[in-house]
Amino acid sequence: MTTTVVVGGSFAGMTAAIEIKRKGKKDHQVILIDKSPLFLFIPSLIWVPFKRREMKDISFKKENILKKKEVDFVHAEALNVDTFNQIVTTTKGDYHYDNLVIATGPKVKYDVAPGVAEHAHYIGTPNGAMKLRAALDEFKKNPGPIVIGATQNAGCMGAAYEFLFNMEKWLREQNIRKKVDLYWITPEDYLGHFGIDGMPMGETMLKGFMKMFHIHYETGVAVKEVTANSIILTNGEVIDSSLTMLMPPFVGVDFVKNSPNLPSTEVGYIPVTESYRHKELKNVWAAGIAVHVDLPFECKNIPFSAPKTGYPSDETGKIVAENIIRTAKGREDLIKKPWGKIPGLCVMDAGKKEVLILSNHLFKPRTFAIMIPNIFYDFTKVFLEKYFLWKSRRGLAWLP
């Protein structure tokens, strides 16, 4: 029997673990190690501060689903891996593997600039979303300027854009919009770059949104410091801010950095081939945010990264699962799909409006790419949330 240990239980990890067991059946034992007992639909965190969603609406316990799919779940923190002896050490003991899948997600680099950790909110975690909810309740009592955006080296600009437009709508609903100067700052070379070198008409569309919603914006800027009531940019500009939400950069998790014989990049990501197999270790694989991605473009002013969340994480989890099954059968015809050639499928919420972003490849060159605004309702965003939670609660990882 082949034993595969999967470290990480979010989009990529859950998908990989369930698919390896489904395809490998009795010939494969699959162990999933994760420090969280819950699966969380992270894209919906943008709605939690505005009380459009509660945490219970977008999360569920993963153990029962994994048990039904005959995947062994270990609720523990993975501390490191000894790739020579093929052993993962956790807070609940050691686990031997024949194949290792690293689907750990990221660690957030809050120290990207002084004051970010202390004075800026972050929407990407349950704790951060709930702190923002409490902050908004206080903000209503004494409105002031708001700064929303991303720091240098960030790669998840999409969620920050979504929070920005949801914030603008919330301010109108609270009848305090005229009291608030709303600012958007981003390291992107232009609006709508998204870390994928943009989409046709994307910059024009977002400029139109900024004008329509009266949002001040600056592109190609970096954060020098955040204080309790301001944000200081590296160009010397100071913007007053009563409430700040920033997307910091992601880096590799401690599990990777604490594993000296696991070759990784300087920031702790896993260098992989086009089959998501480690470039040096043939029985180590990576999926989701843990994968190192080479940027196909140059940042003109301030460095920023490519997005690695959502659909690409799910897709790479499936690719890794299939390739592990093939290698166990002695096959060498592995699936190869570079990160940049994964289709771009994204719905950007814009405050009960949405923009559908579709392309045949995440990175250029592309033969098909389009952004479609839906100004009436965010139906597609809500549908995708309900669909993904439905299939995940049933362990139907094979579905698109």
User: Residue 217 contacts by C-beta under 8 Å, 6 or more apart in sequence?
Assistant: 183, 184, 185, 186, 191, 210
On average, the pLDDT of the chain sits at 97
118 and 240 fall within a common domain = yes
Instruction: Check residue 309 and give its pLDDT.
Output: 83
**Boundary (domain end) residue, out of 191, 225, 249:** 249
- Residue-wise pLDDT for 251-287, tens only, equals 999 999 999 999 999 999 999 999 999 999 999 999 9
Domain containing residue 187: 109-249
Q: Is the pLDDT of residue 14 over 90?
A: yes
Average pLDDT over residues 241-260: 98
229 and 242 fall within a common domain = yes
Average pLDDT over residues 63-73: 97
Question: Looking at the DSSP assignment, which residues form a beta bridge with residue 2?
Answer: 28
Instruction: Output the six-digit token pair for 25.
Output: 């059946």
> Is residue 345 helix, strand or coil?
strand
Q: Which of 107, 178, 167, 161 is nearest to 135 (CA)?
A: 167
10 and 43 fall within a common domain = yes
**Boundary (domain end) residue, out of 249, 270, 292:** 249
Average pLDDT over residues 80-97: 98
**Boundary (domain end) residue, out of 198, 223, 249:** 249
Instruction: Output the six-digit token pair for 279.
Output: 């470039």
303 and 261 fall within a common domain = yes
Q: Is residue 27 part of a domain?
A: yes
102 and 145 fall within a common domain = no
Question: Looking at the DSSP assignment, which residues form a beta bridge with residue 281?
Answer: none
User: Which residue do the tokens 């950069």 mark?
Assistant: 249
Q: Is the pLDDT of residue 361 over 90?
A: yes
26 and 102 fall within a common domain = yes
The distance in angstroms from the start CA to the end CA of the chain is 29
DSSP state of 271: P
Indicate which CATH number applies to the domain containing 225.
3.50.50.60
Q: Is residue 161 part of a domain?
A: yes
Instruction: Check residue 310 and give its pLDDT.
Output: 83
Instruction: Check residue 109 and give its pLDDT.
Output: 97
Percent of the chain with pLDDT over 90: 98
Average pLDDT over residues 157-184: 97
| Strand 28-34 versus strand 2-7 pairing type | parallel
140 and 221 fall within a common domain = yes
- Residue-wise pLDDT for 172-229, tens only, equals 999 999 999 999 999 999 999 999 999 999 999 999 999 999 999 999 999 999 999 9
- Residue-wise pLDDT for 368-380, tens only, equals 999 999 988 999 9
243 and 307 fall within a common domain = no
Amino acid at 265: T
231 and 267 fall within a common domain = no
Instruction: Output the six-digit token pair for 190.
Output: 């232009």
29 and 136 fall within a common domain = no
Q: Is residue 299 part of a domain?
A: yes
**Sheet-wide strand order for 369-374:** 344-349, 354-359, 369-374
Average pLDDT over residues 314-332: 97
Q: How many helices (H) and strands (E) does the chain have?
A: 9, 22
Got the DSSP string for 102-133? E----EE-GGGSTTHHHH-B-SSSHHHHHHHH
- How far apart are the C-alpha atoms of 142 and 132, rounded to whole Å? 15
Least confident of 308-312, 328-332, 361-365: 308-312
Least confident of 85-89, 245-249, 307-311: 307-311
The model's confidence at residue 121, banded by pLDDT at 50, 70 and 90, is very high
Question: Looking at the DSSP assignment, which residues form a beta bridge with residue 247?
Answer: 150
pTM: 0.96
- Number of domains comprising the chain: 2
Q: Is the pLDDT of residue 327 over 90?
A: yes
Question: What phi and psi, each to the nearest 5 degrees, are found at residue 117?
Answer: -65, -35
116 and 244 fall within a common domain = yes
User: Which residue do the tokens 């990175």 mark?
Assistant: 363
Contact 330, 179 (CB under 8 A): no
Average pLDDT over residues 135-150: 98
Q: Is residue 135 part of a domain?
A: yes
Q: Is the pLDDT of residue 115 over 90?
A: yes
243 and 119 fall within a common domain = yes
Instruction: Check residue 387 and give its pLDDT.
Output: 97
How many Cβ atoms from other residues are within 10 Å of residue 52's Cβ?
A: 15
Instruction: Check residue 375 and give its pLDDT.
Output: 86
Q: Is residue 380 part of a domain?
A: no
User: Which residue do the tokens 């024949």 mark?
Assistant: 98
